[in-house]
Amino acid sequence: METFESSHVSKKKNTHVDLPGDIPQADLVKRFIRVNHAGEFGAKRIYEGQLAVLKDTQEAATIEHMKDQELHHLETFEKLIVDRQVRPTIFHPIWNAAGFALGVGTALLGPKAAMACTVAVEEVIDEHYADQVAQLTEDEKDLKETINRFREEELEHRDTAIDLGGETTPGYPVLRKTIRAGSKLAIWLSERF
């Protein structure tokens, strides 16, 4: 019998929403900057939420390091928002609260659940950034390089969280699935609004 876990690993559902093919590159770039700015802000808030709960644990320094990298990602997209005159997402206040709540909520379940959250979020961000890089032309070489560099750091976060037992937390498959769905919804909304 196929277990829930094996089914959710093997039947990799493609919930990715394709961008319409007729979006001009300039609009696509604005959309990417808007959503990445939102995502990096959300990531910072998740790690802040985790630290609010786990500040005295042995995971604190690792989480702090990941938060600092998110801060650098966020500052980069903040600059791009200004330089390229991109309107930030209207959901910004929501991601402020939701990101922090997600960080606190998972950390309250324990350090491993916090790491499970990081694994799930960073997996989605990895796919999201890879997707963007594939769509950008060579005219946006610098932006592509930035996204690729950040993507590598997101993958480091994922690997660190796996090393710290993220995948061994009780209820991991459900937690992962839920957080993935939430992250993808946040991406979808931030790209468009």
| Helix, coil or strand: residue 88 | coil
Interface pick for Fe ion out of 34, 37, 44, 157 (rule CB under 5 A)? 157
The closest alpha carbon to 31, from 140, 179, 121, 126, belongs to: 140
H-assigned helices in the chain: 4-10, 25-54, 60-83, 92-108, 111-135, 141-163, 172-192
Contact between 154 and Fe ion per CB under 5 A:
yes
Candidate residues 30, 45, 70, 103; the one interacting with Fe ion per rule CB under 5 A: 70
Q: Provide, rounded to whole angstroms, the least separation between the CB of residue 148 and Fe ion.
A: 12
Judged by CB under 5 A, the number of residues near Fe ion is 6
Query: Which of 70, 123 has the CB closer to Fe ion?
Result: 70
Binding mask 6-45 for Fe ion (x = CB under 5 A): ----------------------------------x--x--
Stretch of 9-17, 46-54, 69-77, 97-105 lying at the interface with Fe ion (CB under 5 A)? 69-77
DSSP tag of 32:
H
Report the Cα–Cα distance between both ends of the chain, in Å, rounded.
43
Radius of gyration of the chain (CA): 17
Interface residues toward Fe ion, by CB under 5 A: 40, 43, 70, 73, 154, 157
